[in-house]
Structure 1
Amino acid sequence: MSVNKVILIGRAGKDPDVRTLDGGAKVASLSFATTDKAYTLQNGTQVPERTEWHNLIFWNKTAEIVEKYVHKGDKLYIEGKLRTRNYDDSKGVKRYITEVFVDSIEMLTPKVQQQAAPVPPPLPTQQPTQRQQQQVQQPAYQQQPYQQIPPPDDLPF
């Protein structure tokens, strides 16, 4: 048994490059950054922030989704598999490249929500309306829906 599974959470390094092949299939490529935060060891040694860059490849429906909704800087959750290929560069040197072929994508950057026109405060002689009372009483975390990422269902255990 073998497993080739990649899970990444990071940010798009550029807008996706989308092409349509002769057969009508779409393919999109995207540079993707994951960053380990800087930290200090107990002995005082400082470990700097480290960013890894990944090449993501999207096919067909996921390529269409990426083309439509993903932009530079967007935070994404990615699941896919590693693929390595080689090519000869212009000097004839064999080069290898590792890419993540994306199976599923989840947008983590919240949509820009249009704000409703602010409700003016009531005049001193007026009682607040029921809607105004609800806006005051409702905490901010309840105003945006929580998006839960479903666990993968193909784990080997």
Structure 2
Amino acid sequence: MSINRAILLGHVGGDPEIRTVQSGDKIASFSLATSEQWRDKATGERRESTEWHRVVVFNQPLVGIVEQYVKKGSKVSVQGQIKTRKWQANDGSDRYSTEIVIGRFDGSLGLEGSPKGAERDEHAYGQTRAKPAREAADDPRMGMASSAPSGRPLADDLNDDIPF
């Protein structure tokens, strides 16, 4: 048995490139930087090493997320297969590119960190809210009301039934 799986957490090096192929499907690609830091034992200086990875996304729902939310500097996690492809340069020489590929039906991509402009609500149990509570209650896409029918926040109702 063998496994071909790469898991990376890093920062996007530039805005993603989105291409549309003849079938109408979109393909997203971007560079991802992973870094490690250490202190040099001999000199005591802080050192850093950065590796650059090429990520290619074929999964259509994830391409939409990349297109809408991923920008230069975004912190993302990716999980995909390591693939090397052969191509020819303009001078006719063979070139090779190794990429992390998120296929149509496998792999994942996660947006790490909080979105810009988001606020923390102490009653949100760790969730990040980008809209004020009043606006969220009026937005049918939020899927839940921001307050109980009594007008109190939902967090107050939840605490009433906790047995400890």
TM-score, reference length from structure 2:
0.67
* Aligned partner of residue 65 in structure 1, secondary structure: helix
Q: 1:113 aligns with which of 101, 113, 117?
A: 117
* Aligned partner of residue 65 in structure 2, secondary structure: helix
* Aligned partner of residue 145 in structure 1, secondary structure: coil
Letter in 1 for 2:51: E
What is the CA RMSD across the aligned residues, in angstroms? 2.4
What are the equivalent positions in structure 2 for 1:115-154 lying under 5 Å apart?
A: 145=126
Structure 2 spans left out of the alignment, 5+ residues: 129-164
Q: Distance in 2 between matches of 1:82 and 1:114?
A: 34
TM-score, reference length from structure 1:
0.69
* Aligned partner of residue 49 in structure 1, secondary structure: strand
Q: Which has the bigger relative contact order, CA under 8 A and spacing at least 6?
A: 1
Q: Distance in 2 between matches of 1:29 and 1:78?
A: 12
Q: CA deviation at 1:145?
A: 1.4
Larger Rg: 1
Q: CA deviation at 1:24?
A: 1.5
Q: 1:90 to 1:6 in 2, by over 3 A?
A: same
Structure 1 spans left out of the alignment, 5+ residues: 117-134, 148-157
Q: Distance in 2 between matches of 1:112 and 1:88?
A: 41
Aligned-pair identity (%): 33
Letter in 2 for 1:52: E
Query: Which runs of at least 4 in structure 1 moved beyond 6 Å after TM superposition?
Result: none
